[in-house]
Amino acid sequence: MHELYLAQSLLQQVTKLAHENKASKVLKVKISIGPLSGIVVDSFKFGFDALKRESSLTSKAGLEIETQPLVLYCMECSREFQAPDSWPRGSTTCPGCGGQSLLPKGEDEIVLQQLVME
């Protein structure tokens, strides 16, 4: 349900921008989703595709999603590295010092990167 609300908010923002620019159609919406956002990408896409049909302005809009990788910060040596897919379930150690005191680092937001209108 969280993703449906976020998709609805994105479409409201896109519609506002389209009206401000006197566009007749939105063709493409490109967003970036941070690794700490808690968003299930497939659910977000489903919500976007369902809701975009409610307006002729957005009904043909394609959605492109770029997901950002999760970065871990080692509290022992201050090294940053990309988290493995197994994190946090598997045991992960810092590739620099072998430490296990790791903190997740990354954005928790959705950013509208590009909007293509006609």
Fold of domain 2-70+107-117: hypothetical protein PF0899 fold (3.30.2320)
State pLDDT tens for residues 22-75. Answer: 999 999 999 999 999 989 999 999 999 999 999 999 999 999 999 999 999 999
Q: Are β-strands 62-67 and 102-105 bridged in parallel, bridged antiparallel, or unpaired?
A: unpaired
The pTM of this model reads 0.82
State pLDDT tens for residues 100-113. Answer: 999 999 889 999 99
Model confidence at 90: pLDDT above 80? no
Model confidence at 1: pLDDT above 90? no
> What gap in Å lies between CA 28 and CA 87, rounded to an integer?
33
